[in-house]
Amino acid sequence: MSADLRIGRGLVLDRRLIEERFVTADGPGGQNVNKVATAVELRVDLARAGLPEDVWQRLTVLAGRRLTAEGVLVLSAREFRSQDRNRAAAEARLVSLLQQALIRPRRRLATRPTLASKRERVEGKVHRGRIKANRGSGSRGGQDE
């Protein structure tokens, strides 16, 4: 196992911040599920990872309840019957989450409606108004003329 985990854009996560724990998984697996602890729980101390402030802000939103008050990210993987595959799945989720946090959202540029769209909106309102105005005429009673 290498000493660090490459995320992208120069971000490297020290593997010493990752603690993994294996627990017994529920679900399919027959006798194996009762004997072998195949599900993995990764605990990553991101508070000590030295992430840039903007990345940390986005990560707290993306992680949601998986991030504890102490800044520890808890990820679990239990979809496979082997420890190695579950470890790889949890690690892939960690990398994916951190890569998403690296992406800076684009600032929205304020735009104005075009003249054509303004005209189209007004014409639609006028047309709808005419339809409603014509509803009262006819042989149906109940309206004062």
One pLDDT digit (tens) per residue for the chain, 145 residues: 456 777 777 777 777 778 888 877 766 666 666 677 778 888 888 888 778 888 888 888 888 888 888 888 888 888 887 888 888 898 888 888 888 888 888 999 999 999 999 999 999 999 999 999 999 766 555 555 4
- Rounded Cα gap, residues 114 and 95, in angstroms: 43
Give the three-state DSSP class for 135.
coil
Give the three-state DSSP class for 51.
coil
**Tell me, what DSSP letter sits at residue 17?**
G
- What is the pLDDT at residue 29? 60
Task: Name all domains of the chain by residue range, CATH numbers in brackets.
Answer: 4-102 (3.30.160.20)
- Rounded Cα gap, residues 118 and 113, in angstroms: 7
